[in-house]
Structure 1
Amino acid sequence: MLPEEQELVRLEAEQAELEEQVTTAELALETLKVELVQFQYRYYQGPGRLYAELDSWDARIAMNEAGMHPNDVDVQLRAVAAEEQAKCSAEEAGIIKKSPPPPPEITQEAKQAFRRAAKLMHPDRATSDEERKRRNEIMAKVNIAYENGDQDAIEKLIIEFGQDPEAIQGDDIGSRMIKALRRIAQLRGRSVEIEKELAEAQKHELFELFVTVKESEAMGSDPIGDLIQEILKQISERKIQLELMNESVTY
């Protein structure tokens, strides 16, 4: 076997190993994302909605106090803060819809990046049906990035297009080596991205709560159920407090 053939075998073996590692990491990342979404839904359907109701009762109590002390600035500010907290809790629990985010700003730099991408990878520049399909797929990603005003994403897609292993034509040893080298670089880059995404997900408060609940349930506890009972107790206390306040005003 020639030296270049041995190197090709080594590169393709390394590529296959990296592909397996990245596939495993992708599965772990996507599984975590799904589990967090499921947990978030479960949490907001239970404690989340009850916390929103509790905050709503706190806001009513605060507004009552504000009505009883119209000249007390601190009391008025607490009432405003309580109302805002109740609104935020209701939005998080899905009881009321959040205000839609403002549309992204399309900067001049983003427009220039889009022009560079379109000139480089437009499907009309393809010389085969396979190449046209590849270009269509990546231009669709460019269009989405542009609509989101995401210049960095467009720049990244331009770089990836230039380094895409699929752009290499031919089946000779040299072409296969270049293709393998590009794919290895691509896989290593994706591996780093996955590590960053996992680290970001694990920094979130929801992840910490998810892990705590999961560990407790594995030991036979019911932390969600216990929390629900505690919040219901607090809601009952707030109702009584508000009734007593209204009675005192009446008398």
Structure 2
Amino acid sequence: MNNSALSRHGLERRHAQLQELQRYLQTQESEFHELHSQLTAFVDRYAATLGSAYLELDALESQLHTATQYLADALRRNGIDARTPRAPQATALPSIPKLPAAAPLPAEPTNGCIDLPPPSLKTLYRRAAMRLHPDFASNEHERQRREQAMMLVNEAYAAERRGQLEALLLANGEDPVKVTGGNADALRNWLSRCESSVQGRLRVVQAHLIALQAHPMHQLWQAIRRAETIGLDPFSVMIQRLQSQISERRQELYIGQRLQPEPGLAEDFLRRRIERMGASIGSI
């Protein structure tokens, strides 16, 4: 078997491997999109079930901050060293990471694998002369350009600088296959670029899939699914917990708006507020 046949067989094998890698990439992307769709649906359900309660709790926390800020300012005006509790953070819906768009693969060289030996130096010279000879010029400006080009062609041929002849031919529109021979090298280069691109994309997809599986909302979703499977209603428990917090904040707000800026109760109220805000978590 000649080297050309070996080259063709190797290229065909690599092409098949590239297609197999692309199919695996597609399954990984499909897995990500399916999980992303399911997780997004759960987040929508979460927001629809608990969103209004979180909004009410956020509004009460904001009013409480205003009341405690006013109380701290009044205490300081009375000569009492009073700290102001930190501002509450509004509850925000979690962000589910999306998969970035993939870059297109480079275009495949046309005509498949062409078995053609490189032309001789004399053949390259003749082709350059046919393309660049001044007698084929259509006007004086073109004739001068061709004369300059033919000087370079003659110099390259005389010095047996094949690379320079090839570059001149390619720059003037000659078919690359007719200049350098078969396109096996071009195909190998294309395959290498495609393999690198697909492997890079696969790493991106797998990293995003792992991040999605480790997302706090994914873990919560799985926990709620397990609880609902055995007949529990975790969302009801969560709503009751939020309603309990809302009742506590209403009572706290009622007291905070009516306290007088005097030592004792007002200072204790501020201290407890500062402690609670330091331990609170301001996200869903």
Same fold flag (TM > 0.5): yes
CA contact (8 A) 1:45 1:93 kept: no
Query: Alignment partner for residue 210 of structure 1, among 221, 224, 228?
Result: 221
The answer to whether 1:5 aligns with 2:8 is yes
Higher relative contact order (CA 8 A, sep 6+): 2
Distance 1:239 1:220, change over 3 A: same
Gaps of 5+ in 1: 95-152
The answer to whether 1:231 aligns with 2:242 is yes
Paired with 2:54 and 2:33, the residues of 1 have a C-alpha distance of: 29
Query: Alignment partner for residue 75 of structure 2, among 48, 71, 81?
Result: 71
Distance 1:30 1:15, change over 3 A: same
Structure whose residues are more often helix by fraction = 1
TM-score by length of 1: 0.57
Paired with 2:210 and 2:81, the residues of 1 have a C-alpha distance of: 41
Deviation for aligned residue 1:5: 3.2
Deviation for aligned residue 1:169: 3.1
Aligned counterpart, 1:172:
113
The answer to whether 1:182 aligns with 2:162 is no
Gaps of 5+ in 2: 95-99, 115-183, 261-284
Distance 1:21 1:212, change over 3 A: same
Q: Which one-letter code corresponds to 2:235 in the other structure?
A: I
Report the aligned-residue RMSD. 3.4
Query: Alignment partner for residue 232 of structure 2, among 186, 203, 221?
Result: 221
Paired with 1:20 and 1:203, the residues of 2 have a C-alpha distance of: 25
SS state at 2:110 partner: coil
CA contact (8 A) 2:75 2:81 kept: no
Distance 1:65 1:182, change over 3 A: closer
Paired with 1:176 and 1:238, the residues of 2 have a C-alpha distance of: 70
The structure that has the greater radius of gyration is: 2
SS state at 2:87 partner: helix
**Kindly, what percent of the aligned residue pairs are identical?**
24
- Report how many aligned residue pairs link the two structures: 177
Distance 1:247 1:71, change over 3 A: closer
Offset from partner CA, 1:165-186 (integer Å, 9 cap, x none): 3153332252555444432222
